[in-house]
A and B are shown apart, each in its own frame.
Chain A
Amino acid sequence: RKEVEQDPGPFNVPEGATVAFNCTYSNSASQSFFWYRQDCRKEPKLLMSVYSSGNEDGRFTAQLNRASQYISLLIRDSKLSDSATYLCVVNINNNDMRFGAGTRLTVKP
């Protein structure tokens, strides 16, 4: 089993739609969690950290469920510019970071 698993997609949604991605992780001792965004042929960039209580940043909401070992990312009112690959990242121990393979999102007009 992979340490971090994501549905690769692609998710194709119209502008304005709400879309959600899930990510599961295998190491129950994982310490912290992040969502990164990677545009085509670009480096990954931090989108948001994921906190235990869940957190929101504008149209983006991240949730963590430690009991079930999954993380989610919800995007509301999706924009064309949201088209990218979303990477789930888990810090399993002292900055030992593991990346999921990513979920590809395409937002269409």
Chain B
Amino acid sequence: GAGVSQSPSNKVTEKGKDVELRCDPISGHTALYWYRQSLGQGLEFLIYFQGNSAPDKSGLPSDRFSAERTGGSVSTLTIQRTQQEDSAVYLCASSLDSGSPTDTQYFGPGTRLTVL
């Protein structure tokens, strides 16, 4: 079946503009995660959606970042008033969230954001 998809694959924007990044998780996966990865660095957790529960927003770096998940499926990560330090690859992952501790995450190809 289809994996996690993200769009756009690349986004170049000017400092101060808003951007929206989209993630389509694997069908039936109830857990969805957003991460950020700067060049040569590890993954930085941003936000986690689990079913209908309130999202875990503890990783969002500032109030310029927000995310929503509509209908328990597609998610949008929005960055307002982008700054150059926001430049990174934004990765989305989903998992079955069956309650088993061995649930694994499947990643999308990421959106490479460049803020000029």
Binding site for B on A (CB under 8 A): 31-32, 34, 42-46, 49, 87, 89, 91, 94-102
Q: Are B48 and A95 in contact (CB under 8 A)?
A: yes
CB-defined A-B contacts under 8 Å, sample of 28? A32-B101, A43-B91, A43-B108, A43-B109, A45-B107, A46-B104, A46-B106, A49-B104, A87-B43, A89-B105, A91-B101, A91-B103, A95-B31, A95-B50, A95-B95, A95-B97, A95-B103, A96-B48, A96-B56, A97-B33, A97-B45, A99-B35, A99-B42, A99-B43, A100-B42, A101-B41, A101-B42, A102-B42
Q: How many residues of B contact A (CB 8 A)?
A: 23
Asked whether any CB of chain A lies closer than 8 Å to the CB of B25, the reply is no
Interface of A is mostly: strand
